[in-house]
A and B are shown apart, each in its own frame.
Chain A
Amino acid sequence: MSEFILEMRNISKSFAGVQALKDVSIRCRPGLVYGLVGENGAGKSTLMKILAGAYSADAGEITYKGERRDQASTAEIIASGISIIYQELALVGQMSVAENIFLGREPRHALGILNLPELHARSAVLLKRLGIELDLDLPVSELTIAQQQLVEIAKALSQHADLIVMDEPSAILAGSELDQLFEIIQNLVEQGVTIIYISHRLEEVFRIADEVTVLKDGELVATRPIGELDRATLVEYMVGRPLDEVFPQTEHEQGELVLAAKDLATDTILDGVSLELYAGEILGIAGMVGSGRTELARALFGADPLTGGSIELVDKGASAWGSPAQAIGAGLVLAPEDRKAHGLFTTLSVRINVSIPILSTLTRLGVLKRRAEDQVVREAQERLSIVMSSPDQETQFLSGGNQQKVVLAKWLSTDPAVIILDEPTRGVDVGAKFEIYRLMRQLNDRGIAIVMISSELPEIIGMSDRIMVMNDGRVAGELTRDEAGEARIIELATLGAAEAGQS
């Protein structure tokens, strides 16, 4: 048997005349972690879908465990020991943890009757092997996203996976959850499992990967052991040019008070959160997933009802809005964390996505002024350099970065005083990321105040003028840029204000 568990040689694939992959080869030894990086559209997903049997390659061959693999069904591929964990987790929400792990392969008695004790016992063994604790009977819809991801990993192990592909697993995780994931990966690797780890976040690749493969525009740029790479080189491989990777700064005095929120509370998790926001600044909000960051954003925007507290937009004299429509009218907007579920009409055109909040102002006698709408869309496209084939293109076909720009364009058209950005660069490639950072600074220069929620600590520290750390629905602490370091933020985010103060 070859020393490689997997070899994909000279893989090419095109869709309707567009070359998605051209002559790409990768190979993996057992028990190592392979980072697969590249911008959106670089071909990472296509390559992995070919591995998973979802697409068939136009050319090239795959050798797995020493055997040449021909076209195979998804079921055969899973049976052969390859598991892929997609970003959109494939779990059935109403079913329990144990049922999900063995979905379709339930231990059973004769006549197809479920063997529940066996189901539990085997699930428990798997979770133990991963070193995690979960209630096996809980419906997975009750779990956090991070816990759901662990269920997916357990499911992969239950299929005796020797090769696990993780497609941007960290995109939905934060801080300590990520550490836990890395521990589990380490653990699996020691047991001889091979991991292909797809990510946008280079820090993670450096932390976890043994070898890194970079794709760009469907072609292989480089495969290097991690030791031979530094950050700048890797970015250059990905972007194809050296990138001025410095967080853009502006010098400005503290502006006027724009927004004051006091003692906000919701049914969800918020428990007495207060904040003040000044014109032209970026307030960074850090904290674990589930710490109440997103809930705070939604409460400020009127998307979730408040059970206590008050919000005031100072110079507009507006307060106590009960709906997003009113918040938008008052000049406060939210670019949500989950773009596809909450930010974009994915099946509709760029045009309507950009113009929707101001449509009613673009009318004469109830009739839409198409030219005025086109004008708005054209200006947005130029200002944010949105790459699209036409304003009629459906947003689902745009890259992550361009999708985020469409969301931003939508809100900029309303001329807001406050913009809340929940994970503004998630799923956005490196080049577009810095464009978004620069745009944020331009907005600051125009006096717009920004609240930025992010799981990426370098982003929080690099961009924020002030940083608020949340923990368990409360404010655990507020730091100035100079006080903030990753360690201090993590301490506050994990321990909360009281304990962190004592330590």
Chain B
Amino acid sequence: MNLLASGFFGKRKRSAQSRAVFLRRNGPIIMVYAFILLLVLIGITQSERFFTERNLTNVARQSAFLGLVALGQMLVILTAGIDLSVGSLVKVSILVSAIVMNGESANVLPAIIATLGLGVLVGLIHGFLINELRIAPFIVTLASLVILRGIGLTISSSPVGKASREVMMFYVQKIGPIPIIAWMFFLLIVLTMLLLRFTVFGKYLYAVGGNIEVARLSGVPIKAVRYGVYVLCSLTAAVTGLLWLSRMGVGDPAIGDGIELQTITAVIIGGTSLFGGRASVLGTLGGVLLLGITANLLVMLGVNQFIQGLIQGVIIVAAVALYKQEGD
């Protein structure tokens, strides 16, 4: 028991100093959750519709949509990279999956394989350009954002294809009171935590982001790590495209725009450094929930939706200012 406790949760009894370090490192994340709690309290007291099963289910699903990609984005940012293409990839994914599926149950598996294959391919291309041609991740994925969006709109500028019945049912299915899509997000959170804590690949992500030259001189296979992380990130976008199909029922080319910035926002609010080498899964979850609940609450309170952007901007600046204080 004692061993388990020290191995998994760190030392049981924290010294005053380590408590201070813990607070210094995690203080801002705690503040993010405190802020979420505050929003929830505002919601409960100010709106009758907020704290209903129906609305909370909604928030959970919406957070899951953003959260899956945010986790992929976080892993990329942990390596001091960035993936601007995820929104466009979600768009192409929903179109491809809808067209391949075309409303037929028999086509569900081919559609899933095609979409995930697309994700792997896009991730490999990113890895290739970054590793072999040494182009900065920002540039590579910016180009990819534009190209994929172009491909998406070339495929169709109006809704195409169709989800099968089961796929549409998937969106509303629940296990217990919680939508299955939220369970997926939860599962991915746990897997990501395990990945970062207990796998060599996870440690290599920190190493590459901490200092890529030191990583190379320490024998870390940096190319493989970067191929891996961009494939993982693209896969989260492809999966999210499939989930959007289950929600929309058709391949809607309007889906996906802006997801890249929202995920980056969530990751930053969660305390992951854009310079790499530092990441927090719980922080990213906090960032996702904060964005999701804010958006939901503003709708509930009848606030003009254009003001939502303004408020999100303020949240980003406030969060980053908070993390900056931690450095001093």
Docked complex: B183-198 residues within 8 A CB-CB of A: 197-198
Quick one: given A360-B200, A363-B200, A370-B198, are A348 and B219 in contact (CB under 8 Å)?
Answer: no
Residue in A301, A344, A362, A370 whose CB lies within 8 Å of B7: A370
How many residues from B make CB contacts under 8 Å with A?
30
Contact mask for chain A residues 346-369; partner B; CB cutoff 8 A; 1 contact, 0 none? 111000100111011011001110
Say whether B158 faces chain A, with CB atoms less than 8 Å apart. no
Give the contacting residue for B213; candidates A341, A356, A362, A366; CB below 8 A. Answer: A341
B25 CB to nearest A CB, Å: 10
A390–B218 CA distance with the chains assembled, in angstroms: 22
Query: Which one, B198, B217, B277, contacts A368 given CB within 8 A?
Result: B198
B203/A390 in contact, CB under 8 A: no
Assess whether B52 is interfacial by the CB under 8 Å rule.
Answer: no
Measured CB to CB, the nearest residue on chain B to A356 is B218
Establish whether residues B219 and A345, one from each chain, have CB atoms under 8 Å apart when the complex forms: no
Structural contact, B17 and A368, CB atoms closer than 8 A? no
Judging by beta carbons under 8 Å apart, are A345 and B206 in contact? Answer: yes
The number of residue pairs between A and B whose CB atoms lie closer than 8 Å in the complex comes to: 86
User: Is B216's beta carbon under 8 Å from chain A?
Assistant: yes
Interface of B is mostly: helix
A389–B17 CB distance below 8 A: yes
Chain A residues with CB under 8 Å of B216's CB are: 303, 323-324
Q: Is A336's CB within 8 Å of the partner chain B?
A: yes
- Known A324-B218, A356-B220, A357-B219; contact A345-B210, beta-carbon cutoff 8 A: yes
Q: Mark B1-42, 1 if CB is under 8 A from A, else 0.
A: 001000100110000011010000000000000000000000
Contact B217 A359 (CB under 8 A): no
Tell yes or no: A116 within 8 A of B by CB.
Answer: no
Q: Does B305 contact A (CB under 8 A)?
A: no
Are the CB atoms of A328 and B277 closer together than 8 Å?
A: no
Return chain B residues, CB-CB under 8 Å to A366. Answer: 199-201
B207 touches A343 (CB 8 A): no
Chain B residues lying within 8 Å of A324, measured Cβ to Cβ, are 216-219
What are the residues of chain B within 8 A of A360 when measuring CB–CB? 200
A59: Cβ under 8 A from any B Cβ: no
Residue of A nearest to B7 (CB): A370
Q: Which of A324, A347, A355, A390 has the most CB of B within 10 A?
A: A347
Q: A324-B216, A356-B218, A356-B220 are in contact. Are A345 and B199 (CB under 8 A)?
A: no
Question: Do the beta carbons of A342 and B217 come within 8 Å of each other?
Answer: yes
Assess the A329–B214 pair: CB atoms within 8 A.
no
Interface flag for B211 (CB, 8 Å): yes
Smallest beta-carbon distance A114→chain B, Å: 31
**B278 on the A face (CB < 8 A):** yes
A371 located at the interface, meaning its Cβ lies under 8 Å from any Cβ of chain B in the complex:
yes
When chains A and B are docked, how far (Å) is the Cα of A325 from the Cα of B217? 7
**Is the pair B210, A325 in contact by a Cβ cutoff of 8 Å?**
no
Give CA–CA (A344, B207) in the complex, Å: 10
Q: Does A410 contact B (CB under 8 A)?
A: yes
7 A-B residue pairs with Cβ-Cβ distance under 8 Å, sorted by A, are A325-B221, A328-B218, A329-B219, A344-B214, A346-B210, A357-B219, A366-B200
- Please list the residues of chain A having a beta carbon within 8 angstroms of any beta carbon in chain B: 16, 301, 303, 323-325, 327-329, 334, 336, 341-348, 352, 355-357, 359-360, 362-363, 366-368, 370-371, 374, 389-390, 392, 410
A-B contacts besides A324-B217, A342-B213, A366-B199, 17 pairs, CB < 8 Å:
A301-B217, A303-B217, A324-B219, A325-B221, A334-B217, A345-B210, A345-B214, A345-B277, A346-B211, A347-B210, A348-B210, A367-B198, A367-B199, A368-B199, A371-B7, A374-B7, A392-B10
The 9 closest A-B pairs by CB, nearest first: A345-B210, A325-B219, A328-B219, A359-B200, A348-B210, A356-B218, A347-B277, A368-B198, A357-B219
